[in-house]
Structure formats: C-alpha cells, structure tokens
C-alpha cells in the first residue's frame, strides 16, 4: 500500500484519464505487491487479502472514500475493469 500512497499526486491529477491510471496501478503497485509470488502457496485467506488490496487500490485511484458505500462490482464498472482474482 506504500506504493499507492507515494503516488497520491498522480491519482489526484485530473488530466490523466482513468484508463491510464489503471495501467499505472497494474504496472507499479502490482509488481511490488506480487514480488516473489512464484513461491507462494495461496490459500483462501491470501486470495482474499490480494483481492482486498486490489479493491483498495482501485478505490484510491478513483478517489472513492470508504464512507461512500459502493459495492465492489459498481467500483469495477466505474473503473471499466474486472477483478483479477
């Protein structure tokens, strides 16, 4: 999550469109988050945490606060993507 907070200026930059921001999340945040994943043994708990991280990244990118109660499917439709896990 540290990568996402360091890129806050980028997420707040309005001239950059959502599609470009989404590509940056996948290129920058996912590479850090999944570093060394070849040796992981994924259980349901780990899959859940990875999905939660992805949800949090997309919500931060779209600047949707946690107080705004949107279901995950709605957030992904706003972003124009689907969950990876």
- Residue by residue, pLDDT tens for the chain (85 residues) are 577 778 788 888 888 888 888 888 888 777 777 777 777 777 888 888 888 888 888 888 888 887 888 888 888 888 887 776 5
How many domains is the chain partitioned into structurally?
1
The residues near 24 (Cβ < 8 Å, ≥ 6 apart) are 7, 10
Residue 1 inside a domain? The answer is no
Residue 12 inside a domain? The answer is no
pLDDT, position 85:
55
Residue 85 inside a domain? The answer is no
Please give the model's pTM, rounded to 2 decimal places: 0.70
Residue 5 inside a domain? The answer is no
pLDDT, position 24:
83
Residue 68 inside a domain? The answer is yes
Residue 43 inside a domain? The answer is yes
- Determine the structural domain holding residue 32 and report its residue range: 19-79
pLDDT, position 1:
56
> CA-CA distance, 62 to 45, in Å (whole number)?
26
pLDDT, position 82:
77
């Amino acid at each position: 999550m540290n990568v996402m907070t360091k890129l806050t200026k980028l997420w707040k930059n309005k001239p950059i469109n959502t599609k470009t921001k989404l590509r940056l999340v996948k290129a920058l945040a996912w590479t850090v988050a999944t570093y060394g994943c070849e040796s992981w043994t994924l259980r349901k708990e780990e899959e859940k945490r990875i999905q939660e991280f992805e949800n949090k990244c997309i919500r931060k990118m779209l600047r949707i606060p946690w107080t705004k109660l949107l279901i995950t499917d709605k957030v992904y439709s706003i972003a124009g993507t689907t969950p990876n896990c």
